[in-house]
Amino acid sequence: MGIPSRKFAGRIAAVAVAAAAVAAPFAPTAQASQGTAPHPAWKTWQTSAQDAKADRAFFQAVLAVAKKKQLAHPELDQVTVTYDNQAPTFSTSIANSTRIWNGAVHNVQLQESGGGGDFSYYEGNDPRGSYADTDGHGHGYIFLDYAQNQEYDSTRVAAHETGHALGLPDHYEGPCSELMSGGGPGPSCTNSQPDANERAQVDQLWANGLAKVSASLMR
Ligand SMILES: [Zn+2]
């Protein structure tokens, strides 16, 4: 289940070598946590308390930085969440995800940062697939797995993981029309657009700046 399919092995190795030359060293706790409970890998097609915990910790990390910035501009009703792209292989997918989300919701907008972003995208090989988590130092990140991005639509993967940055939980049992159903509907599902309900959830979560979203985390 957790092993990347062999037919992509050659391409993956080539991509990995190329990426290793340009990518910043990726050493968050993801490596250290191997052997513990599995991460939110699409391949499991199921959510668990552990996955949901990591997703929530990630969202809280994103929120903590966004909150600091918002304090400087309390008059704004729209929050801008910034990110660093350290996943050069997936720049197109990430840009697509940003465009999709910025067109889909109003109360929060994504913007690429030249450094010091609210969260980061990384890339690499991980048998658990792609996931969102924190690095143990309060910084949230999205990890994009080479094998999974070959098997599944890469923009869907990026937009799904970015959905966690905006506060959405997994819903693997949902249909392909939902972004947060992730790998649930299988690799043939290439939908990369959040459905109306997902859009409404994000806009509601980020309504009136950060007041509401902060309150929701207190519950
Ligand atoms: Zn997910």
The Å distance, Cα 199 to ligand 1 centre, comes to: 16
Q: What is the pLDDT of residue 76?
A: 77
39 is in an annotated binding site: no
137 is in an annotated binding site: no
Burial class (CB in 10 A: 0-12, 13-18, 19+), 181: buried
Give the tens place of pLDDT for each residue, 30-89: 443 443 333 344 554 344 566 788 889 999 999 888 877 777 777 777 889 999 999 999
133 is in an annotated binding site: no
Give the tens place of pLDDT for each residue, 135-146: 877 889 999 999
Q: Do the Cβ atoms of 78 and 208 come closer than 8 Å?
A: no
The Å distance, Cα 74 to ligand 1 centre, comes to: 31
Give the tens place of pLDDT for each residue, 170-215: 999 999 999 999 999 999 999 999 999 999 999 998 886 665 555 5
The partner residues of 142 in beta bridges, in order of sequence, read 121, 132
| Residues bordering ligand 1, an ion, CB closer than 5 Å | 40, 170, 182
State the catalytic residues: 161
Q: Which residues contact 137 (CB under 8 A, 6 or more apart)?
A: none
